[in-house]
Amino acid sequence: MSYTQADLDAIEKAIKGGERRVRLQDKEVEYRTLAEMFAIRNKIATDVAGKPLGMKRVNMVTDKGLL
């Protein structure tokens, strides 16, 4: 299933409103827990944005101090 920005908006609105039932495209889904909703929200965000929510890439560079 390919998610859209509208799906991400719908689940974020449900999380903020304390609702457990969300309409995603042509399906209505009822989640059991808030943790389950956060997991699917992160999956949708990954599909929509191409990267996970709240994740940053850090490149570490080290040098021994020798020339």
CB count within 10 Å of CB 45 equals 21
Decide which of 25 and 58 is more confident. 25
User: How do the domains of the chain map onto residue ranges?
Assistant: 1-67
Decide which of 51 and 11 is more confident. 11
Q: Render pLDDT for 1-31 as a digit per residue (tens, 0 to 9).
A: 688 889 999 999 999 999 999 988 888 989 9
Under 8 Å between Cβ of 48 and 42: no
Q: Can you tell me the distance from the alpha carbon of 67 to that of 57, in angstroms, rounded to the nearest whole number?
A: 28
- Please check the confidence at residue 55 and state whether its pLDDT lies above 60: no
